[in-house]
Every structure is written in C-alpha cells, then in structure tokens.
Amino acid sequence: MTTNPCPNCGEPKHPLKLCARCRYSSYHEKVLEPKKKGKDANPGTRPPVPSPDPTGLGKLERKNIPQEFIENWKKFIRGVGDKPETAEFRRGSPTAKAAPWVLGTTSPKMPMKIQPKAQLFSCWICPSTHLFAKEFIIRNPDATFFDLQEAILSQLNSATVQYPYIWWLRVGHSISRVIYKDADDITYVKLHYKWELAYSLQHTGGLVGAQGGANHRYEDVPKSNYFVCTDNDGFVRTGYQCTINPLNERKYLDWG
C-alpha cells in the first residue's frame, strides 16, 4: 500500500490522512474546546468599564451642560475655601418637576399614601437664588430640578446669582417623622396638625447647601431623607437653634 506523508506534519505512516498526533490535536482544538457565549464570545467588543468619578462631573457632562457652567460651579467652590476635586457635585433630579417645590402648593391631593419614616431636617431659603428660581419656573412650568440647576449654574458668580443653592439646610439637627405621598406623588409631613411639604434631598440635589456643623462645608449635605422649609432665617443669626417651624404661628417647633 502506498503511504503518503501527513499533510500537517509530514509523518509518512498514514495514507491520505492526518497522523495520529495531528488528528488528536485538531480534534481537541476544533471539537472539544467549549464555545464561548455571550459577552465572552468576543471580548474585544465589550464596552470599557468607566473609571470612578468622585466629583460626579461625569454625569453632568454627559447631560450636555456647557463646560462654562461647570467652571462656574468650580469657581464658586474655590471661592468658599473648598476644593472641586473633593467636593461632590450633587445632580438634581432629571425627572421630578420643580414647580411645586419652588412655588409651593395649597394642600395635598387625596388619597394620601403612608411612606416609611425618615429623618426630617430644617431648611430656609436663600433669597436671591430663590427669586431667580421662581422667575425661571414661572417661565418654564415643566422644568425639572436638573433644568433649574442648569439655569442657576449658567448665572452663578454673576450679579444675578451668588449661590448655587435655593435652600440652606441646618446639618446636625433632625427629627424622625412619617412621610406621606399624595395623588400627585408630592411628599408631605404632618407637623402640629398641619401638612407641610417634605422636600426630598435626592430630588433637590445640589440646590441645597449646608449650614452649621463643626467642619462647615456647603456641599456636606445628606444624600437622602427630607427637609421642611421656612422663609425665616432669623434663628441662623441667633445661634443656629433649630426651632423654626413654618407652619406654627409662633414659628417654633419642638425638635426634641
């Protein structure tokens, strides 16, 4: 019988076939090797893993806010003795409308749904920024918190807006209260038998600045929970005593 060399390695023992060694190797490479599925099938097409962004500016830039607005925020942070690299940019909600919270509401719309208990902080308005926010919301009633934040950043460090915050939050003092949500998904809390708007810190984001505390930084605001608001900041100038209640006729609330 005529024998031909192995077409793969030249071994002259097997006519018209691969030799045993090459046949075994080829079988394992093409048959026994498990096929990769899903994301492992082609690793080269996987999206890159985003690097950590401690400042939160990546989210802001991906929302296409102009770079000069970001620079306005950085300039403000430097001006108050903080560092933009260590301050976390807190983005306002891109879905929640800001109108009820800036312009106020008359009363909750029934039925009310009980939400879990949350820590409730005291807050007061920053007059100049609040006035700008009201005018903006009147012109743009469907604006979200993020839209409002963008508008404020565009005017920050100008004669119109000196602070990026509409509300000042008193850190270090809070009470635990049950939160209620009405038919329009607006949150309330009952204080002294009256309904008070309960502002969500997750929705307001960077529109709230911190006041008080041992190491005072404007951006050191809790990332969750709620606050109630008043337009009376007199207690701030008299020792930061957290006793203001905008619903009580005497303007005082027992936070103990």
pLDDT tens string 2-21: 556 666 666 665 555 555 65
At residue 82, the pLDDT reads 79
Instruction: Give the separation between CA 254 and CA 18, rounded to whole angstroms.
Output: 91
The C-alpha atoms of residue 105 and residue 186 are separated, in whole angstroms, by 9
Residue 249 belongs to some domain of the structure: no
Q: Are 220 and 230 in contact (CB under 8 A)?
A: no
Q: Who's near 161: CB < 8 A, 6+ residues apart? A: 128, 129, 132, 152, 155
Domain count across the chain: 2
Residue 253 belongs to a domain: no
Question: 114 and 195: one domain?
Answer: yes
Residue 243 domain-assigned?
no
* Domain containing residue 4: 1-45
Quick: pLDDT tens for 27-39.
444 444 455 555 5
Distance CA 81, CA 87 (A): 11
Q: Are 106 and 78 within one domain? A: yes
Please check whether residues 10 and 135 belong to one and the same domain: no
Same domain, 34 and 81: no
| Residue 51 DSSP symbol | P
Question: pLDDT band for position 87 (50/70/90)?
Answer: confident
Give the closest residue to 131 by CA, choosing from 232, 233, 231, 204.
231
Higher pLDDT among residues 83 and 189, named by residue: 189
The per-residue pLDDT for 18 is: 56
- Mean pLDDT of the 134-139 span: 95
**Same-domain check for residues 61 and 174:** yes
Mean pLDDT of 52-56: 43
Q: Is the pLDDT of residue 235 over 60?
A: no
What pLDDT is recorded for position 46? 54
The number of residues making up the chain comes to 256
Question: Is 202 within the bounds of a domain?
Answer: yes
Whether 117 and 178 share a structural domain: yes
In a domain, 180, yes or no: yes
3-state secondary structure at position 21: helix
pLDDT at 5: 65
Task: Assess whether 96 and 161 both reside in one domain.
Answer: yes
pLDDT in tens, 140-190: 999 999 999 999 998 998 888 999 999 999 888 889 999 999 999 999 999
Residue 199: which pLDDT band, with cuts at 50, 70 and 90? very high
Q: Three-state DSSP class for 148?
A: helix
The percent of residues above 70 in pLDDT, for the chain, comes to 63
Interval 91-118: pLDDT, tens: 889 999 999 999 998 889 999 999 999 9
Question: Left if phi > 0, otherwise alpha if psi is -120 to 50, otherwise beta: which for 107?
Answer: beta
- Same domain? For 41 and 71 the reply is no
Is 90 found in the same domain as 149? yes
Q: Which three-class secondary structure state does DSSP give residue 136?
A: helix
Both 23 and 108 in one domain: the answer is no
The answer on 91 and 16 residing in a single domain is: no
Q: Do the domain assignments include residue 61?
A: yes
Tell me, yes or no, whether 13 and 133 share the same domain. Answer: no
> 155 in a domain, yes or no?
yes
CA distance 7 to 50: 49
